[in-house]
């Protein structure tokens, strides 16, 4: 599978996790376009905020992976702090 397709899968999982968080459930009986739309809007807003802060970035795949893993680590820490260890 291509690097691009793998990133789409990562983004899809992130949107699904946001939907679950927003709805308070882990079961979705079908596609919920409203929650997806809200999540994608928030993601777009965050990208704009990042570009304003950091400027336009063109990182190597290795650099983007490092940034992504740092963000995943922050999610893991937030979950552990919320749910306990």
CA–CA distance, 25 with 23 (Å, rounded to integer): 5
* Selection from 64, 15, 23 nearest residue 41 by Cα: 15
pTM: 0.72
Are 36 and 17 contacting, i.e. CB atoms less than 8 angstroms apart?
no
Model pLDDT for residues 5-35, shown as the tens digit of each residue: 888 889 888 888 888 887 776 655 566 667 6
The alpha-carbon radius of gyration of the chain (Å, integer) is 15
CA angle 78, 43, 84 (to 5 degrees): 10
Report the pLDDT averaged over residues 48-58.
90
């Amino acid at each position: 599978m291509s690097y691009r397709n793998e990133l789409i899968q990562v983004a899809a999982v992130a949107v699904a996790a946001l939907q679950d968080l927003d709805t308070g459930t882990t079961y979705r009986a079908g596609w919920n376009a409203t929650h997806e739309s809200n999540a994608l809007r928030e993601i777009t807003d965050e990208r704009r905020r990042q570009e304003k802060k950091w400027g336009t970035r063109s990182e190597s795949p290795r650099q983007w992976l490092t940034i992504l893993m740092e963000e995943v680590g922050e999610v893991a820490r937030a979950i552990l702090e919320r749910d306990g260890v």
